């Protein structure tokens, strides 16, 4: 999916769980928390501030948004925050794999 600004967005839960993260939705904060062993991050709808561990927030191309009852984040969240390898396939599909 593309944002109105043309940023590629991906469904957070589907991607994160595919990479082995546990995803917890926090309704009161309109946020999602991701855990995988010692790795932790969270995202807040509408806030362009992404955390990895307890480090200072990083801004990316777009804030998380909810579309069709799913939370979407910029594709760069996957590479820059979750540290996964992201590649575009020949047919336009996206391949995501956790770096070792």
In the chain the first and final C-alpha atoms are separated, in Å, by 27
Q: What is the mean pLDDT of residues 30-52?
A: 92
E strand or H helix that includes residue 78? helix 75-80
Which pair of structure tokens corresponds to residue 22? 């546990």
pLDDT of residue 48: 94
pLDDT exceeds 80 at position 88: no
- Residues 57, 20: Cα–Cα separation, whole Å: 22
């Amino acid at each position: 999916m593309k944002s109105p600004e043309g940023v590629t967005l991906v469904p957070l839960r589907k991607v994160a769980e595919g990479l082995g993260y546990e995803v917890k939705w926090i309704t009161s904060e309109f946020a999602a928390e991701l855990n995988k062993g010692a790795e932790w991050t969270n995202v807040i709808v509408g806030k362009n501030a992404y955390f990895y561990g307890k480090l200072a927030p990083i801004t990316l191309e777009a804030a998380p948004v909810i579309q069709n009852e799913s939370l979407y984040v910029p594709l760069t969240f996957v590479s820059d925050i979750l540290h996964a390898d992201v590649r575009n396939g020949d047919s336009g599909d996206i391949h995501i794999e956790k770096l070792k």
